[in-house]
Structure 1
Amino acid sequence: MRRIPVLATIVVLAAVGLMVALGFWQLRRLHQKEALLAHYAAAKGNPVPVEWTSAGVGEDLLYRRARLECATTGARSSIAGRNASGQSGVAQTVQCMLPGGGSARVVLGWSLQPLVTPNWKGGAVTGIIAPGPRLVADPPLEGLEANAMPDPAELPNNHFSYAVQWFLFAGTALVIYGIALRRRM
């Protein structure tokens, strides 16, 4: 009968311990993400607009209604997006220079064609703060169609499945090591 290999056992147990710790870390992240999503849902329901200042906006203001004054416009671009009906197309964006400095990315509206060049030269914009951060104009500007409004419910919260995955990895490592030890004996 052979002895149990000490170094291999230590390595396997350390790896299993790490995987279990990662599983519990994912469970903690699950609760943090649930709290964040609840905060975003409450922010979405808050009708009082916040002012987008030259200092920008923090992540705590995501999904809030906001207003900004675009003094001048800069680079225009297009990004993949959906309209209010869910149809795929292109969200038309512009970089706004704010009074007093700073800038903000504004989604002017939606179209089927990329790089539609609206004549919009700036002014007051109201909308919803989306991740990025960017302001999704509501109502849309320059005759563009309305974009789908950002919704925190679309953010994934898959930390529970990640935790289960780590625990299964740990269990699998123990089973495989147990089989290897049994064959060795």
Structure 2
Amino acid sequence: MRRIPLIPTLLVLAAVAVMIGLGFWQIGRLHEKQAMLAAFRVAQAEGAEVPWPDRGEGGDALYHRSRVLCTRVTAHSGIAGRNAQGEPGVAQTADCVLADGRVARVVLGWSRQPLDPAGARWQGGEVRGVIAPGPRLVADPPLEGLAPNAKPDPSEIPNNHLSYAVQWFLFAAVALVIYALALRKRLSGDANGSSATD
């Protein structure tokens, strides 16, 4: 008698259901990311300044203009960056202590040197610019005679949720096909064994 194995079948169906659920979850995340990127593009187009974010990665303040008053610089460094013409180089940064004790990272400007002396000379003051992920304030205009950095662009934020969703749906389909083939082989083997004993 041909019987479909109950427990393996239930396990496979449960795994497939989880994969399909993850696919739909990624579709939901896709819509959330699209809405977030649209809000960032609006923020990028606005000229009004917002307060420097209190905590976290910047949240709703990202890509808005802002300003900080750096009372003290605790460190200078450089990170990979591009200038306004798209050329690779080093974004000169400073970690600033604000009047309320918070720390803000400021991108002073762009240079070809890993640690440009011009950036290292900067010891504080008012900085105006655009809030980039991190968060960090990309100075606009740049400071200490450094070249302008490329302006933060929300289009650089990856939005891969659709491809992730497709992958989960494909995993589910492949799991079903593989299990169906294995089940077919097993059932045909059972049938052949039954025929041989008849």
TM over 0.5: yes
Is 2:119 the partner of 1:115? no
Secondary structure of 2:159 counterpart = coil
Residue type of the alignment partner of 1:79: I
- Partners of 1:93 and 1:108 within 8 A in 2: yes
Matches within 5 A, 1:1-185: 1-52=1-52, 55=54, 58-117=58-117, 118=119, 119-185=121-187
Q: Taking structure 1 as reference, are residues 36 and 176 closer, same or farther at Cα in structure 2, changes over 3 Å only? A: same
Question: Which has the larger share of helix?
Answer: 2
CA distance, structure 1, for counterparts of residue 71 and residue 15 of structure 2: 56
- Partners of 2:40 and 2:63 within 8 A in 1: yes
Provide, for residues 1-39 of structure 1, a one-character-per-residue CA deviation record: whole Å limited to 9, x for no partner: 542111111111011000000000001001110110111
- Partners of 1:19 and 1:167 within 8 A in 2: yes
Percent identity of the aligned residues? 61
- Partners of 1:62 and 1:130 within 8 A in 2: yes
Superposition RMSD on alpha carbons, in Å? 1.3
- With structure 1 as the length reference, what TM-score do the two structures score? 0.95
CA distance, structure 2, for counterparts of residue 37 and residue 64 of structure 1: 13
Residue type of the alignment partner of 1:129: I
Superposed displacement of residue 177, structure 1? 0.4
Provide, for residues 38-92 of structure 1, a one-character-per-residue CA deviation record: whole Å limited to 9, x for no partner: 1111111110112327x35841100001111111111111111111111111111
Runs of 4+ displaced beyond 2 Å: 55-58
- Partners of 1:94 and 1:105 within 8 A in 2: yes
- Partners of 1:72 and 1:122 within 8 A in 2: yes
CA distance, structure 2, for counterparts of residue 75 and residue 48 of structure 1: 29
- Partners of 2:83 and 2:147 within 8 A in 1: yes
- Aligned pair count? 184
- Partners of 1:77 and 1:93 within 8 A in 2: yes
CA distance, structure 2, for counterparts of residue 78 and residue 26 of structure 1: 35
Give ranges in structure 2 of 5+ residues lacking alignment: 188-198
Give ranges in structure 1 of 5+ residues lacking alignment: none
Secondary structure of 1:101 counterpart = coil
Larger Rg belongs to: 2
